[in-house]
Amino acid sequence: MTHQILHGDCLFVLREIPDDHINLVYLDPPFFTQSKQSLKSKTMREYSFTDTWESMERYIEFLRERLYEMRRVMKDESTIFFHCDRNASHHIRVLLDDIFGYKRFLSEIIWTYRRWSNTSRSLLGSHQTIFMYSKTANYTFNEIFQDYSETTNLDQILQRRERNKHGKSVYVTDSEGRIVLNGPKKGVPLTDTWEIPFLNPKARERCGYPTQKPLQLLERIIQLATNENDLVLDPFCGSGTTLVAAKLLHRNFIGIDSSIEAVELSRQRVQNPIRSESKLLEAGREAYRNLPDDVIQILRESPVKFVQRNSGIDAIHNFFVGGKPVVLRVQRSGEDLTEAAKKLQQAGRKKDAAMLLLIRTEQDKRQHTFLDVFPADVHVIDSLALSVQSSIENLLQTELSEFAKGNA
């Protein structure tokens, strides 16, 4: 078993590793941000590393020397995943073509995540890039499948197809004209765009190391490119995310870092791996959607943003009045209109709303008492279905009374 975390400049440590030894290299070196990266851990310990360079040329030369060593220690069936971002990705792709050959380029993986910070005069960055290259044409690749999207017509996928004599794809039928099924489907092959949440500041997994990557990202890479007991190398291991992922997946690993604090932290994390489960990813986006379908249906055509976890407000209109929001609520089936209005009023006050709009979906058949006080600031609008229903009823009433008059 190899579980090593070594201290030093990876250029020199790599030289101690024999040729053709490693199954997967993942590297996440400084990105050429031209700044010092630092962060405080939960215990207020500060971790940092420098990412300032004399020039882009010096940075690329630094990488080139080390990449040659990485290539040397890689086995023929191995792959390398180079993690970088917009600061230097364009130079790094050319460098990797140079060292591994452009024919060994396999994928440009876009790791995308949501961020909420402000940008000034350009688009808010929400991705990083991981270049995947192999050492030879014969490399390990374990296919990963993802679930079909909600919009996929599963019925069609489950039916077997073939090309007819005109080359057109048609469904296969048996001698009695019945459709033939394809058997179980594995899902859609993993694409090169990976949506994996960035570690939030409160994530259990977060150890306070600057630029720490999520375990989920490394687990996916390791599963794609290695098998159990293979040897994974991270020459810029930082807080040891790759090593923890490798351990959890029963792979061997070698980690290197020039910072002794990083090496110590990696050793601690490997001893006591903590993985935060993303509730969103585990349960899927749908689980976070708790607005009933009929409510969404009613509001869908209006320019609104849905509010998922608020019992008083279902949506906020895109149009603000005097900088204040206009909030909406849909009356639920069987819900008393006054009760619905009170809930909206209460929730709307907390949001300092400019207008409260309640969409009535049912006719009020209840007997009201003097205790029912309808909130005066709530505007009631009938839903389309209710308006149609009332219009039809009114027309029928008129028609009936005309008829009655005629017969009188």
Ligand X SMILES: C[S@@+](CC[C@H](N)C(=O)[O-])C[C@H]1O[C@@H](n2cnc3c(N)ncnc32)[C@H](O)[C@@H]1O
3, β-bridge pairs: 253
Among 239, 252, 338, 361, binds ligand X (CB under 6 A): 239
Nearer to ligand X, 213 or 329 (CB): 213
Question: Please, which residues have CB within 8 angstroms of residue 179's CB and are 6 or more apart in sequence?
Answer: 159, 160, 171, 172, 173
Nearer to ligand X, 8 or 375 (CB): 8
255 binds ligand X (CB under 6 A): no
Question: Please, which residues have CB within 8 angstroms of residue 177's CB and are 6 or more apart in sequence?
Answer: none
Among 6, 22, 24, 30, binds ligand X (CB under 6 A): 30
How big is the site for ligand X, counted in residues (CB under 6 A)? 20
Stretch that binds ligand X, among 73-81, 136-144, 196-204, 257-265 (CB under 6 A): 257-265
Stretch that binds ligand X, among 236-244, 294-302, 328-336, 359-367 (CB under 6 A): 236-244
Cα angle 379-385-391, degrees, rounded to a multiple of 5:
90
State the nearest-atom distance from the C-beta of 210 to ligand X, in Å: 7
Nearer to ligand X, 65 or 372 (CB): 65
81 binds ligand X (CB under 6 A): no
Stretch that binds ligand X, among 22-30, 134-142, 309-317, 344-352 (CB under 6 A): 22-30
Amino acid code (one letter) for 140: T
State the nearest-atom distance from the C-beta of 26 to ligand X, in Å: 8
Nearer to ligand X, 77 or 205 (CB): 205
15 three-class SS: coil
9 binds ligand X (CB under 6 A): yes
Integer Cα distance of 95 and 102 in angstroms: 10
Amino acid code (one letter) for 406: G
Among 258, 276, 310, 389, binds ligand X (CB under 6 A): 258
State the nearest-atom distance from the C-beta of 275 to ligand X, in Å: 13
62 three-class SS: helix
CA distances from 43 to 37, 58, 82, 206 (A): 18, 36, 31, 12
Among 219, 257, 314, 362, binds ligand X (CB under 6 A): 257
Nearer to ligand X, 49 or 81 (CB): 49
Q: Which residue has the tokens 């019945």?
A: 178
State the nearest-atom distance from the C-beta of 2 to ligand X, in Å: 18
Residue 230: CA atoms inside 13 Å, Cβ hemisphere, count? 24
Q: How many CB atoms lie within 10 A of CB 208?
A: 17
Q: How many CB atoms lie within 10 A of CB 210?
A: 17
DSSP secondary structure letter of residue 34: S
Mask for 183-222, x = binds ligand X (CB under 6 A): --------------------------x-xxx---------
Q: Which residue is nearest to ligand X (CB)?
A: 238
CA distances from 2 to 251, 252, 282 (A): 9, 5, 31
State the nearest-atom distance from the C-beta of 10 to ligand X, in Å: 4
Smallest CA-to-CA distance from 51 within 85, 11, 102 is with 85
Instruction: Summarize as ranges the residues that interact with ligand X (CB under 6 A).
Output: 9-10, 28-30, 49, 209, 211-213, 235-236, 238-239, 241, 256-259, 262
